[in-house]
Amino acid sequence: MRRLALILCVVAAPLWAVQPDEILDDPALEARARALSEELRCLVCRNESFDDSYAPLARDLRLLVRERLVAGDSDAEVMEFVVARFGEYVLLKPQATGANLILWLAGPLMLLCGVGLGLNYLRRRAGSEAVAEAALSDEEKSRLKQILDD
């Protein structure tokens, strides 16, 4: 029974991060706030969204997003405001532009380089074995055969 309670707490814990006093009365605005909060990183918890975090700073940021929505800002304006205030690090999915483009492309490029180096190594290795075997004289081949048979 304790295990079940523990599993329920771990699985359902992120659902309880948004406190009842934070929820907006307008369901449409609340849905927009939740959608925006899922795209924003908690600055304390690193790879958690605002909605999933219990950190006091995450609560403040959830309230900030809701205040901006109540003030009449569009989703894009709220995102611009938060990014201008906290930097691009606050985005869980940073934009693939400018310097970030290098980071987005670095992984696939490194993978391609690694595959290319591996194939080059295998091709050279296969070629060197054929050259080494062909370089043996008849006397060396017979001596090698004699050694292996013993």
pLDDT by residue (tens digit) across 65-90? Answer: 888 888 888 888 999 998 899 888 88
Q: What mean pLDDT, rounded, does the chain reach?
A: 80
49: phi then psi, degrees, rounded to nearest 5: -75, 165
Length of the chain (residues): 150
Q: What is the CATH number of domain 8-90?
A: 1.10.8.640
Chain segment 89-122, per-residue pLDDT in tens: 888 887 777 777 888 788 999 999 999 999 999 9
Question: Among the residues of the chain, which ranges form H helices?
Answer: 2-12, 27-38, 56-70, 75-86, 99-134, 138-149
Q: Does the pTM exceed 0.85? A: no
